[in-house]
Structure 1
């Protein structure tokens, strides 16, 4: 899970990051080789042990009202987010059905993770529908951090500079940028939004590996990131 947004702290609120950090490296075939920090991108204190995602640590407000939703073929879950959680996806249609499906399912995974954070549920089914393996484990840890600090995301997040490649082995490589300059952490207990200055670390590059499952869904199996990448900075 890449670096959590910015490290957000104040004298009254605990520190919580918008994007967590675990170090790793990946050679990207879509561009040059990049060294990235591994990224995964739901509280279920009553969750059963068998519900835990393999490789992830176990870990309040009511569910938000719906302002955006997506559902469709393959039993895709409906995505419901608070009205103050918004996105600007600048990903372009490629004209290739396979690549466009990769981009669509990757977009839904991003939204599903934020929905799990808003629901304070590290085991929410929606993000698990779109992720598996180390990506799902990383997302669970990422969401759990927000739960531990009783916080969620707020504001506008922009996604751009995407490159998608479908390989001969059936997997897809997706590289994209995220602009977090207008996205922040909101603490549920106080309702306070921790607005932080924009720095080079507000811009993050991600690289993911996806595979189409038997439901026809492009599932993210691995996701890594690097904060402050020159590829993404304005």
Structure 2
């Protein structure tokens, strides 16, 4: 989406997870906020115009919801795996959370089942508020967003944290009513740092419980 609109949403959600320390990339003009809203698609029959994401088969594991993304929304994640089973499970569920968040934006549904599946507590509230901001503005998302430098720190059998960078230089906001894609010049604010905390629930899912971002962070600049 546009850098302008992302700054607005970052400001709107600032303070939700201000206590979460960031060790990785960059986000909103020094503001801290909840997660990035750049995914798309639908879950549990949300949209007939979408095609299954590459993660659809994996998402079926342990009863995980299927998430479908529109063809104009592409998300990539690096690394996808580390060779460590626990860290790989955390990376996988984090990617599914990001897909579910964009799926909720496309569906204009803050309570999309897939999003609720991967969030809990403050993380759920922050994610729902983010989606509601898009719904209120009449916006959806389009384009490509890359999530890179993904690093997992395992704290216990049921708690962990991640840091990663979001490259939004080719990701945009689209006005739903008109279909107009709002683009702005790529600058430092096209790159966002994320810090998240996750907890493993009784189903074995690593749910997002806290998230913060910093737009324009030096560590995430190309």
Give the alignment partner of residue 126 of structure 1, picking from 108, 114, 118. 114
* SS of match in other structure, 1:101: helix
TM-score, normalising length: structure 1: 0.79
Q: In the superposition, relative to structure 1, how do residues 191 and 64 fare at CA in structure 2: closer, same or farther (>3 Å)?
A: farther
Shift of 1:40: 3.9
| The structure with more radius of gyration | 1
Cα distance in 1, alignment partners of residues 131 and 3 from structure 2: 15
Cα distance in 2, alignment partners of residues 181 and 19 from structure 1: 20
Aligned 8 A contact 1:85 1:153 in 2: yes
Cα distance in 2, alignment partners of residues 145 and 38 from structure 1: 13
Cα distance in 1, alignment partners of residues 48 and 72 from structure 2: 10
Equivalent residue number for residue 72 of structure 2: 84
Structure with the larger helix share: 2
Question: Is the aligned partner of 1:7 residue 2:4?
Answer: yes
Aligned residues: 203
Equivalent residue number for residue 37 of structure 1: 32
Question: Is the aligned partner of 1:102 residue 2:90?
Answer: yes
Cα distance in 1, alignment partners of residues 11 and 71 from structure 2: 21
In structure 2, the gaps of 5 or more residues are 25-29, 38-45
What is the Cα-based RMSD across aligned positions, in Å?
2.5
Equivalent residue number for residue 22 of structure 1: 14
Cα distance in 2, alignment partners of residues 18 and 85 from structure 1: 21
Give the 4+ runs in structure 1 shifted more than 3 A. 15-21
Equivalent residue number for residue 49 of structure 1: none
In structure 1, the gaps of 5 or more residues are 10-14, 43-61
Question: Is the aligned partner of 1:63 residue 2:20?
Answer: no
Shift of 1:8: 3.6
Aligned 8 A contact 1:8 1:194 in 2: no
Equivalent residue number for residue 200 of structure 1: 188
